[in-house]
Amino acid sequence: MKYKLIADIAKSLLLARWKQTLIAAVGVTFSITMFITLLSFMSGLNNMLDGLILNRTPHIRLYKDIKPNAQQPITLAKKRDTTYNFIHSIKPKRERIELFNSATIISALKEDKRVLGVAPKIATQIFYNVGVMNITGVINGIDIEAESKLFFFKDYVVAGNFMDLKNVTNSIILGKGVADKLMLNIGDVIQVTTNKGEQLPLKVVGYFQSGLLDIDKSQSYCSIATTQKLLGEANNYITDLQIKLKDVALAPPMAKEMQEKFGVDAIDVQTANAQFETGSSIRSLISYAVGITLLIVAGFGIYNILNMMIYEKMDSIAILKATGFSGNDVHAIFISIALSIGIVGGAGGLLLGFGLSSIIDQIPFNTASLPTVKTYPIIYNPTFYIIATIFSVVTTYFAGFFPSRKASKIDPVIIIRGK
Amino acid sequence: MSAIVLEAKHINKSFHDPITIPVLKDISFQLRESEFVSIIGKSGCGKSTLLYILSTMDTDFEGELLINNQSVVGETDAALALIRNQHIGFVFQFHYLLNEFSVLKNVMLPGLKLGQYSAAEVEHRAYEKLRILGIEKEALKKPNQLSGGQKQRVAIARALINDPLLIMGDEPTGNLDKKNSAIVFDIFKELAASYKQTLLIVTHDNEFAANTQRIIEMEDGKIIN
Ligand SMILES: Nc1ncnc2c1ncn2[C@@H]1O[C@H](COP(=O)(O)OP(=O)(O)OP(=O)(O)O)[C@@H](O)[C@H]1O
Ligand SMILES: [Mg+2]
C-alpha cells in the first residue's frame, strides 16, 4: 500500500471539509480535556481525603488487646472423645496492655525488607484539669522523628515547633480543639491526671490540627519519655508499634504473619479503614465513566462527519476504485481521516487538560480542617495522559471503522450507472 | 497477426431485481493490439453492462474473460484493482474528476497508485499526456474551472497515464459538441496508430462509429454483427 498517497488523498478530503472536521476534532479535544481534568482533580481529591486518615494511619498496628485467654484451664485437662466443654461468661483477667518484647520486635522489623519504618507509641487515657473541671482525653506518646518521617506529624502542627516536644522536657502539643476549650496559649502549663491518679504539669509547646474534629478535641501529643514518666512506667514501656510498609497492598497478609510470629495483635489498614478504599474507587470509577461517555459522544461526532463525507464523495470513491484503488485503499483513506481527527483533537485535549488542571491547581482552597491544603488538589499523573491518548485513538478508530468499511464496499458500477 | 489483448468467451449476465432478466446473452469476441473498435446498438441493449464487465468492475457474470491472456474470473478485489490500474483506462460519459485536486494531480493519481515511476516522473508523464490532449496550460487549475470538453480531455489523460493496453469508453463524446468530439476521435485514432493501444468505445454517434476500424453491433444483449 502507498501510505504517502493514501495520506495525501485523506488530507485533501479532510481539508475540503475543514469546518466539519474541525468541529469533530474540537469534540474530541473537549472530551479529552474534561477527561484529564476530571481525573486529575478527582484523584487529587481522593488523595487528600485518603491522606486525611490514611497518611496518619499505620499500615499495620501491633498492640495487645484486652481479651479473655484462649487457653482456659479446662482445656488443659485430658480431653475425652465423648465430651464437650462449655464455659459461660469468661472474663479477661487483669493484664497489662504493654508490648513486652517491643525491643526485639522493633529490631526484627528493621531487618524486614518490606518494612519502610516503625514508630513506637504509647496511647493512654488522661484527664485535662482546668479549675474544678476534668476533661477526658488521650495522650499519645510518640517518637517525634519517626512519627514525622512516617506519618507527616510535622504537617499537622499548626503552631509552635514540633521539635520542642523532644527538646523541652515535660512538654505537650495540644489538639487545637483541646487548646480552644481550655483557652491555653503556647507557653502555658497544663495539669494532666492519669487514670491511676498521678498528676504532672506539662508545658504547651504547640497546637496540632488533624482536620478530624473529634480527634482534635481530645488528643494531644507528648514524647515517649514524658508519657512513660507520666504513667510511672519504665523506659521500655510501649503499647503500640506503628508499621509503614513499602507496599500497602501487603498489609493484610503481613499483619497475619506478625500476629503469629510475635504473639501480639495486629490490624492492617485495609481492615481498619475499609470504607475509604470504597470511597476512592467509586470516585475514580465515576470520573472514568464520565470521561469515557464524553469520548463516546465525540466518537459519534466523528462517525457523523465521516458518513457525511462518504455520502458526498461517492463519485470520488467510485472513480478511485474504477482507476485502480482497491477496497482496502479506500478503507485506509477514511480510517486515516478518522485517526487524524482523533490524534489532532486528542493532542489538543491533552494540552488543554494539562492547562485546565494547572489553573484549578492555582485556585485557593482554604479549609480549617485541612491545614496543609492551600489550593484545590490536583494530581499530575502521566497514566491519565496515556489512558486519554489510547482512548482517543481507539474511539476514533472505531468511529471511523464502520463508515470506512461502508466506503470500501461502494460498488463503482452502481454509482457510475446512476449518473 | 498481433497479440490478443482481451478475450470474452460466452459471457452471460442477468439482473435479478425484481425479476430475472437476461441482459447479456452468450457474448464472445476478441480484441487485438492496436485495434480501434466501436460498439453500437439501441438504448438498453446492454452496452454499458458489457463494458463494466470487461473493465473488471462488475464481477457478477457467467463465462470467461481474459485480459492480456490472464483470466480475471474469481480474482480478489485487490488483484482486479491492480489489473484496472495497470492495463485498463476507462473514460465515462461523465468526467468524474476530483475537485479537491488540481487537474495535474487528477491525472497523476492512478500513476501514483501503480507506483511504477517516482512521483516526479509521474508528474512529468502527466504533463506529457495533457500536452498530447492540448490542455497542458490548464494543469494547475481545479477541474471545476474547466469547460466540459476540457474536463473530458483531462479524464482521457487520466485513463492514459499508466499506458494501458486497453482504453474503454462509454459514450465519451456523448456530452461534447461536434468540434470537441472530432478532437477526441482524432486523439483515439492517434493512440491506436502510434501507441499501439487498443480502443473499445461505446457510441451512439454513427459517424464516429463509421470511422473506426471495426463496429460491434448489439441488439437485445447479443452481438449481431
Ligand atoms: N441494476 C439493474 N437492475 C435491473 N436491470 C438493469 C440494471 N441496470 C441495467 N438494467 C437493464 O439492463 C439493460 C441494459 O442496460 P445498459 O445500461 O447496459 O444499456 P445500454 O446499452 O448502455 O443503454 P444506453 O445506450 O441507453 O446507455 C437495460 O434494459 C436496463 O434496464
Ligand atoms: Mg449505457
Question: What CATH number corresponds to the domain at position B103?
Answer: 3.40.50.300
Q: How many domains does chain B have?
A: 1
Which atom belonging to ligand 1 lies closest to the Cα atom of B52? 18
B1 in a structural domain: no
* pTM score of the predicted model: 0.74
Phi and psi angles of residue A61, each rounded to the nearest 5 degrees, phi first? -115, 125
Residue A304 has pLDDT above 60, yes or no: yes
* A261 has a chain B CB within 8 A of its CB: no
Domains of chain A, residue spans? 2-54+276-418, 60-69+92-272
Q: Residue B116 belongs to what domain range? A: 34-46+75-223
Stretch A80-95: mean pLDDT = 75
Which helix or strand (DSSP H or E) is residue B127 part of?
A: helix B119-132
Determine the residue of B48, B94, B173, B206 to mutate for testing ligand 1's pocket, defined as the one with the most ligand atoms within 8 A of the Cβ atom.
B48
Whether A395 contacts A296, CB under 8 Å: yes
Model confidence over A306-337: pLDDT tens digits?
A: 888 888 888 889 999 999 899 999 999 999 99
* A412 has a chain B CB within 8 A of its CB: yes
Average pLDDT, chain A: 85
Alpha-carbon distance A146 to A153, whole Å? 9
Which atom belonging to ligand 1 lies closest to the Cα atom of B15? 4
Which atom belonging to ligand 1 lies closest to the Cα atom of B204? 25
DSSP A115-152: EEEEEEEEEEEEEEEETTEEEEEEEEEE-HHHHHHHH-
Q: How far is A7 from chain B (nearest CA, A)?
A: 12
Q: Which ligand is nearest to the CA of B21?
A: 1
Stretch A209-222: mean pLDDT = 85
Q: B215 CA distance to ligand 2 centroid (A)?
A: 16
DSSP A183-194: T--TT-EEEEEE
For residue B53 and ligand 1, the question of a CB distance below 6 A is answered with no
Residues of B with CB under 8 A from a CB of A: 48, 52, 55, 57-58, 77-78, 81-82, 84-86, 90, 92-94, 96-101, 109-110, 112-115, 158-159, 162
Residue pLDDT tens, chain B, 225 long: 688 999 999 999 999 878 889 999 999 999 999 899 999 999 989 999 999 999 999 988 999 999 998 999 989 989 999 999 999 999 988 888 998 899 999 999 999 999 889 999 999 999 999 998 888 898 899 999 998 888 988 999 999 999 999 999 998 888 778 888 888 888 889 888 888 899 999 998 888 889 899 999 999 989 887
Model confidence over A261-271: pLDDT tens digits?
A: 888 888 888 88
* A257 has a chain B CB within 8 A of its CB: no
Cα B97 off chain centre by:
15
Phi and psi angles of residue A96, each rounded to the nearest 5 degrees, phi first? -90, 150
Q: What angle is formed at CA A414 by the lines to CA A411 and CA A416, rounded to 5 degrees? A: 105
Q: B15 CA distance to ligand 1 centroid (A)?
A: 9
Q: A110 CA distance to ligand 1 centroid (A)?
A: 91
Residues in chain A within 8 Å Cβ distance of B151: none
B20 in a structural domain: no
Model confidence over A353-384: pLDDT tens digits?
A: 999 999 999 988 877 666 667 888 898 989 98
Percentage of chain A beyond pLDDT 70 is 96
Tell me what pLDDT residue B147 has. Answer: 87
pLDDT bucket at A94, cuts 50 / 70 / 90: low
Stretch A210-235: mean pLDDT = 86
Residue A58 has pLDDT above 80, yes or no: yes
How many angstroms separate the Cα of A275 from the Cα of each of A271, A272, A411?
A: 9, 9, 60
CA proximity to A32, closest of A399, A408, A304, A384:
A384
For residue B43 and ligand 1, the question of a CB distance below 6 A is answered with yes
Test B113 with A2 for CB contact under 8 angstroms.
yes
Residue A347 has pLDDT above 90, yes or no: yes
Residues in chain B within 8 Å Cβ distance of A315: 96
Which atom belonging to ligand 1 lies closest to the Cα atom of B51? 18
Predicted ipTM? 0.91
- Comparing CB atoms, the residue among B96, B101, B115 nearest residue A315 is B96
Model confidence over A377-412: pLDDT tens digits?
A: 898 989 989 988 998 899 889 888 999 998 898 888
Characterize the bridge pairing of strands B36-41 and B62-67. Answer: unpaired
- Comparing CB atoms, the residue among B57, B97, B109 nearest residue A412 is B57
Residue A1 has pLDDT above 60, yes or no: no
B80 in a structural domain: yes
Alpha-carbon distance B225 to B216, whole Å? 6
Reduce the DSSP state of residue A211 to 3 states and report it. coil
Whether B143 contacts B97, CB under 8 Å: yes
Residues in chain B within 8 Å Cβ distance of A5: 109, 112-113
Stretch A56-84: mean pLDDT = 77
Alpha-carbon distance B90 to B157, whole Å? 10
pLDDT bucket at A98, cuts 50 / 70 / 90: confident
Model confidence over A26-43: pLDDT tens digits?
A: 988 988 898 899 889 888
Stretch A158-169: mean pLDDT = 85
- Comparing CB atoms, the residue among A16, A318, A326 nearest residue B81 is A326
For residue B20 and ligand 1, the question of a CB distance below 6 A is answered with no
Alpha-carbon distance B17 to A400, whole Å? 32
Test A323 with B52 for CB contact under 8 angstroms.
no
For residue A129, give every residue at least 6 positions away whose Cβ sits within 8 Å of its Cβ, in sequence order, or none: A190, A191, A192, A193, A199
Test A419 with B94 for CB contact under 8 angstroms.
yes
Alpha-carbon distance A187 to B30, whole Å? 114
Residues pairing with A249 in the sheet? none
Q: B46 CA distance to ligand 1 centroid (A)?
A: 6
Q: What is the largest CA-CA distance in chain A?
A: 106
Tell me what pLDDT residue B107 has. Answer: 94
Residues in chain A within 8 Å Cβ distance of B77: 326-328
For residue A17, give every residue at least 6 positions away whose Cβ sits within 8 Å of its Cβ, in sequence order, or none: A305, A309, A312
Residues in chain A within 8 Å Cβ distance of B84: 322-324
What CA dihedral angle connects A269, A274, A278 and A280, to 10 degrees?
Answer: -30
